[in-house]
Amino acid sequence: MKKEISRKFCVAPMMGYTTPYARKLYRILSNNSFLFSEMIATKSLIYSKSRENIIDNDFNNPVALQVGGSEIEDLTKASKIAIDYNYDEINLNVGCPSKAVQKGSFGACLMRDKILVRNCMEALQNDKIEATLKCRLGLGRELNYEFFDEFIDEISKSGIKFIYVHARNAILSGISPQGNRTIPPLSYDFVKKIKNKYPNITFILNGGINNLDKAEDLLKEFDGVMVGRLIKNNPFILKEVDKKIFKEKDKLIDESIINNYFEYIKPKLGFESIFRLLSPLLSIFFSVPNSKTYKSKINDYMKGQKINLIEDLLIKFVSENNIS
């Protein structure tokens, strides 16, 4: 039996950023945000000896496991792994334009073959968790609604219920993935039009949502929003999400949040680098003046693996700077 889960506000999958440690911090800050793992290639998911470190969930639900792949047998296995690790959803990446991803035959290049994508979605389907898709509007610099419509029409035959749409085309060559975040222009209208045509599918809008006020406004027209860079740059914005989006009590950034996070990461030290464990938390200094001294001390403590001193310093920083 699949759970009823709100996808009103989602944190996008981001390679190198939405690690198990970042997701732990995100969950401490927001009870309701729907979280995503970073994209994991199906081969790594199935065969990697370090799989536990890659997909550790620690009950940070609701959360989705995003995978990259196009081999049917691997996708079927990946779906079972997502269930075993207590994920609420398995999501197929059909949006990333990077050359490395293209070499693996997944990401946005799959939009060239809509029948293959439908077959992939059918392989991911199960009776325990949702199988979903993240895609673009199309390929190349020119928008083509007919292409997008035909793509959605084909994959809808898989029984898919949720689609996350980055509302711009993917450009597969001649521009970096970073450049493709702003070029070509966004088209929210395409997503609105497709949403109205396929009322049995929930469409979550992604792209260009750079503050919570904009997210609130878009939720008047769309089923859900997905944000990425906004949270990557300053995850502490998530403390406002439960109040602003879900109309719950605002969270305060206090000693308990720091303690809770360190309680989770301390046993991981020695298995993971101290920088990977701490990097999600270090954005606490974002836009806070006079934090240079703290950052310098933390860098010194990190070199010496002095995690308890770092915890004490961050608690002091929070109390002195009224982060809440």
Residue 205 β-bridge partners:
165, 225
- Give the chain's length: 324
Q: What are the b/e assignments for 30-44, b being 16+ CB within 10 Å?
A: bebbbbbbbbbbbeb
Confirm if 270 and 305 have CB atoms less than 8 A apart.
Answer: no
Q: Which residues contact 111 (CB under 8 A, 6 or more apart)?
A: 94, 117, 135, 136, 138, 139, 151, 170
CA dihedral 261, 22, 188, 155 (to 10 degrees): -120
Report d(CA 96, CA 206) in Å as an integer: 13
Residues marked as catalytic: 96
Report d(CA 250, CA 84) in Å as an integer: 33
Q: What φ, ψ does residue 65 adopt, rounded to 5°?
A: -100, 120
> How distant, in Å, are the alpha carbons of 72, 75, 148, 201 from that of 119?
7, 10, 17, 18
For residue 168, the SS3 value is coil
Q: Is the dihedral of CA 80, 83, 85, 91 positive or negative?
A: positive
* Identity of the amino acid at 305: Q
Q: Tokens 């749409």 identify what position?
A: 165
Report d(CA 55, CA 58) in Å as an integer: 9
